[in-house]
Structure 1
C-alpha cells in the first residue's frame, strides 16, 4: 500500500502495509460502488479474472519473476548508472569499456551469452541491449572487464558490488532459512546506498527487492519460478513467426509447426537426453597413464588383475545426466565452513571397465576478492578423482585471469 512518491522512503518491509485478501476485497467492493474512483487511490484497476478459481488469491499466488524484475530491471539500472558515473568522473570511458569488451577473452561456458556492445544511449538511458542471459553474463564478468580501472573503495563501484551480493542469494536454487534476515539487511543497505549516490533515480523494481525475503519464505527459492525457461520456449515461436511471414492465421501456423516439431523430437529414443554422450574419444594403454592416476584407478576399481596393455578410454568431454564435463572446466566439489567452495579443474576424463572417472587438480580459494567479486585461487598439485554427479553445483565454471592470478566467479551462492 505504498504510493509511487513514497517508494524511496522504504528500504524494508517494517514500515509498509502489506495487502491482504480482506483488504483487497474491500478495495474491489469500493470500485464496484464507485466506478469512477481513481486507480491511484488503492492501486487497483479491476478484479483479476483468475479470482473465479477457488484456489486463487491475487494477494498470495503471484510470485515475483526474477528474470524481469532483477535481471531485466535492477541489473541494467545498476550497471548503467555505475557506468554513467564512472564515465562522468573520468575513471573509465564508454569507449574504453567497449574496447575492453571487444578484447576480453570470455570463457567457453559464458560464450553462449556474450554481452552486446554498449551503445552511446547507455550514457543517457538506464537500459542495456541484449537478452536477460546476456545482461546476467555482463553482470558477472564486468569486474574482469573494467575492474582494473577502478580504485579500491570507489563509491559507485560499491553499489554494483552490493547488488552482486544480493544477486548471489536470490538467484540461488537453494537458500537456507538462516540467511533470510541477513538478506533483508543487505537489501536495505543497498537501497540506502543507491539513494544516497543516485538520488534522482528510484524505480518500482528496486522497491520490489524489499519484499523478496518474505516471498522466498513463502514460495521457496524464486529461481524455480522465474520466466527464463518460458522465454526460451517463446523464442522459438518468435523466430518462427518472423520466418513464415504468415499474416492470415498465425496461431494455426505456429500450433501446427510446433506439433510437427514435438512429434519429430518425441520419436527419438532419447527425447529427454538421458543417454551418455562423449567427444574426442581415444584408447590408450593403462601403462601410459601417470603413476598417480594408475594408483587412483586401482583403488577406485578395486582391480588387481590389470595388465599394462589393457586399454583405457580417454575423452575430451562427457555429457551424462544432462551435465557436460569438459577438459579445463571447473566444478564445485565441496563447500566448507563459512560457505567457501572448493573447486576441481578437470584434466582427464577416463572410462575404465565401464566406470567413468574424472581426474583433476584441486583449486582452493585463497581469498575472496570483493573488488572483483570472485575467488582468488590457489592450485594444488595432487590429483583428485571424482565421479559424475559428485559435484555440488552442475554449472561448469570458467577461469578468468588477472595479473597472472586465476579467479572464479560463481553464478550464485552454492
Structure 2
C-alpha cells in the first residue's frame, strides 16, 4: 500500500517511514498544532506522537487498513445496560461512575466477592488485590469474545514491531546529511518555541544548554564503562582506543550536543538568532527614529504579506474564499455595499483586502509608578480575504506598528504611520509579488477597526463625544439624540464629497471644526485612492454594547429592581456566585456587581462577562421579577438586540426586525426613565441596521479578537521585565513567534479535531439510530465515539444543546449524547427535545420528546454552529441563545 503525507507530496510504501517523515519534516516535538492520523479516512488528531502510535496500533491494523475497526472485546456492566467494546481502563471508568452515585459495585474479577459503594475503597481494593490481573481474569458474564483480546495484543505487538522496523531503513550519505540538517532545524525550532510560545527567556535557555553539556561531560566515564562492558561480553578484550573512538562517534552524533556545544550553530543566543533569521521565514521589524527621544517600530507589511502568501495553507484558504459564491443575504463583507461599490476590490481577479486595527494599551501596571509611561499605540492588520473562522486565530492577526502613545501625540498620525502608508500605497499601485501565483497581486485597506475614540482620532473627527457634532456616520447634533431617531431620516448622513469639503474648510478656518465635527484629514484617506473615512470605520459591538450600553443600562435597571425590593445587591451577587455555569460559560462567568455601581452608573466588567450576565440574568433572578415590569423589559429588549447584532448572517427581514427592536427599546427606556439622557452610543447603535448593509455582519469587524492580541505583548513584558526600547523588544519577539507558525506547513488547526475515541457497538443504539449509522457504515458492527470534537474552533461534547430544525418559526433543540466518527464524517447522536419560548425570560424551556428518543444529526443540519448550555431553574430546564437563529 502507498502511504502519502497529508501535508506535502512525500509518499512511501511503509507506514513507519511516513511516521518518521512526519516527525522529522513537520515539526515533531516542536509542533504547535494537533497531529492528524496518517489515514486519510480518519478524523482523529493527537497531542503527541506516542498517542498517534497507540491509535495506529489499536484502530488501524495492517490487515484492515481502510477501516478503523478495533477487535471486539465486549464488556457488560451488571448494574446497567452498558455493553460496549472497550479497554479495561474504560470499563473501570464506567464502574466508577456508579460509585460516584453511591451504588454498590461488585468486583468484576473471577473468584472475588468483594463489593463496595465507596469510590476510594473500591480503587484501593483493585490496586491492592488485582494489580497484576489481566482481561482473562474477568468473570465470564463480564467479558465476551475474550479470544479477540489475545488477537488485539498480537496485532499491537506486530504493528509496533512493524513501525519500528520500517524506520530502520538504510540511509545514503546524502540522506544522512539531510537528516542532520533537518534535526538542526528542528532543534532551532524547539528553542524558538521555548522563547516565543512558552515565553522562556534566552538567559534561561542558555543556562539549560550549558547545564546539559556539563552533565554530558560528567557522564563520560559511565558511558565508557558501559561500552567497555558490552564489547568485552561479545568480543573479549579490545584496545581502549577503539572504545574511545566509539564514544567519540556517539558524542558527535548527539544532535543537542553537536549544535549547542562551544562553536555549535546554536550554542549562543546570537548564533541562534542568526540561524533563525537565515533559515526561518522571519520578517524583522525596522525602527524609524523621529527625533532623539521618539521612534516607531514597523514590521514591513509587503514582506509580511509575501511570507504569509508563501504558506500554502494560507494561500489555499484565501483563494478558496475568493471562489466561493455567497448566498442571498448578508454573510460576509462581500455582501455589503462598501465592498460591492469598491471598483478596485470587487473584480474577478484576486485582490488583497486588509483590515486594520488601532488601539492604545498599557503594558505596565496601570496602578503603579509606571502608569502611562510605557503605554503603547499598536496597529495590527489581518487578511480580510480569509474566512472569519480563520481570522479569529490570534496568530492570523499581524503586527504592523508599535510606538509609545506620547510619540503619536507629539508627531501625529501622519508621521507615525508614514512607513505603513508607503507600503499600502505600493500595494495599491504595484501590488506584492506572490511566488505561488507567479504574479503581483494588488490590494488596499477595506476597513479600520477601533473603539470610538481611536476611530475618531485616526479619522480626524471630534474626539470628544460631548461635542456638538459627535457622530462619524451622520451630522447629528448632541441635542438631537434625545428626540430624533436615525430611522426618521432627519439626520443628514456624511458623504465622501461633504467630508472632503469639510476637511478643506477646517484647514482654512480651524474654528469650523466644532460646527462640522471634523478636526483634520485622515492620513489613510489622503494617501490611498480606494479608502475613505466615511465608510472605512465600522462601528464596534464590543465598546458600543458590551462595554458601553449594557453595563450602563444594567446599572440603571438593577437600581430600579432594588428600589422596588425585587432583589437586593447581596442576593443578586449570591445568585451570580452560586450559578452553575457549564461549558464555555465557565470561562466567561460574570463578576459580582460592585457596591459602587449606583454612584458610577455602570456595573463595569469586560465584554465577555457582561455578555454572559445579560444572557443568564433571566435564569438567575427572572423568577423574582414580576411580568410586565418595564425596567425588566428594557433589559430583555437589549438582550434581543444583542442576539440579533451578534448574528453571522442577515436577511432584509431580520435587519428590519432589528430596526423595530432598537426603536422599541429606545421608546421604553425614555418612557420608564424620563430623566435618563441617552448616550452617544445609543445613537451609534441606531446606525447598526444600515452599517450591516454596508459592512455585512458587524461581528466580523469588531475589535474583540484584536484586543486579545494585546495579551501576547503583556505576557512578554511580564516575563522579560525589560522596558528598554520596549516597542522594539515586543516587535522582535512577535515576529519570531510568527516565524515559528509560518514554518509549519499547516498554519491553522485542522478543521476537525477529535479527542479520546472508543469503540461502541452499533447494536447498542435504538433501531432508528442503528439504521442511520448502518447507512454510512454498512460493513462494520462498531463505530468510533469521541469524548469531544472541535470543529473550526467550536467544541462539542455530550450534554450540550444544539439547534436543529424549526417549528412555527421557532428553533427546535436536541441534546448531544454521542459524537460518532464514521470515516471522515462527524455525526451527532442526540436526544430529541420539545421546547416552549418563555418571553419573560427570553429563553426556551426544554423537555425530552417521546421519552428521550434519539436521532442522528449531521453538522450541516445545525441552525447555528455554537452549542448551548442548558440550566435547571426551579425544576425546569432552560436554554438561552447567544445569537439570533434564523428559521
Residues 1:140 and 2:140 are matched in the alignment: no
Cα displacement (A) at 1:393: 1.3
Match of 2:880 in 1: 409
Q: Tell me, in whole angstroms, the C-alpha distance in 1 between the residues paired with 2:751 and 2:481.
A: 51
Q: Tell me, in whole angstroms, the C-alpha distance in 1 between the residues paired with 2:586 and 2:594.
A: 20
Count residues with an aligned counterpart.
406
Matching residue within 252, 256, 277 for 2:753: 277
Q: Tell me, in whole angstroms, the C-alpha distance in 2 between the residues paired with 1:287 and 1:182.
A: 48
Q: Tell me, in whole angstroms, the C-alpha distance in 1 between the residues paired with 2:484 and 2:543.
A: 22
SS in 2 for 1:324: strand
Cα displacement (A) at 1:334: 2.1
Larger radius of gyration: 2
Residues 1:360 and 2:830 are matched in the alignment: yes
Matching residue within 324, 343, 355 for 2:813: 343
Distance 1:360 1:237, change over 3 A: same
Q: Tell me, in whole angstroms, the C-alpha distance in 1 between the residues paired with 2:512 and 2:823.
A: 74
Contact 1:91 1:149 in 2 (8 A): yes
Q: Tell me, in whole angstroms, the C-alpha distance in 1 between the residues paired with 2:671 and 2:514.
A: 27
Contact 1:8 1:207 in 2 (8 A): no
Q: Tell me, in whole angstroms, the C-alpha distance in 1 between the residues paired with 2:493 and 2:821.
A: 57
Cα displacement (A) at 1:289: 4.2
Contact 2:551 2:604 in 1 (8 A): no
Residues 1:383 and 2:383 are matched in the alignment: no
Cα displacement (A) at 1:267: 4.6
Match of 1:374 in 2: 843
Residues 1:233 and 2:709 are matched in the alignment: yes
Match of 1:204 in 2: 680
Q: Tell me, in whole angstroms, the C-alpha distance in 1 between the residues paired with 2:832 and 2:848.
A: 6
Moved more, 66-75 or 233-242: 233-242
SS in 2 for 1:92: coil
Cα displacement (A) at 1:99: 0.6
SS in 2 for 1:272: coil
Contact 1:12 1:184 in 2 (8 A): no
Distance 1:275 1:203, change over 3 A: closer
Residues 1:398 and 2:398 are matched in the alignment: no
Match of 1:173 in 2: 648
SS in 1 for 2:816: strand
Residues 1:315 and 2:789 are matched in the alignment: no
Cα displacement (A) at 1:318: 1.9
Runs of 5+ in structure 2 lacking a partner? 1-474
Cα displacement (A) at 1:83: 1.0
Cα displacement (A) at 1:354: 6.1
Distance 1:364 1:285, change over 3 A: closer
Cα displacement (A) at 1:201: 3.0
Match of 1:293 in 2: 769
Contact 1:364 1:377 in 2 (8 A): yes
Match of 1:219 in 2: 695
Residues 1:115 and 2:590 are matched in the alignment: yes
Q: Tell me, in whole angstroms, the C-alpha distance in 1 between the residues paired with 2:669 and 2:762.
A: 60
Matching residue within 542, 566, 581 for 1:106: 581
Cα displacement (A) at 1:220: 1.6
Moved more, 123-132 or 166-175: 123-132
Q: Deviations over 1:343-402 (max 9, x none)?
A: 22111123356654321111232x211111111223212211023443221111000122
TM normalised by structure 2 equals 0.44
Contact 2:496 2:534 in 1 (8 A): yes
Q: Tell me, in whole angstroms, the C-alpha distance in 1 between the residues paired with 2:605 and 2:584.
A: 18
Moved more, 322-331 or 383-392: 383-392
Contact 1:82 1:160 in 2 (8 A): yes
SS in 2 for 1:342: strand
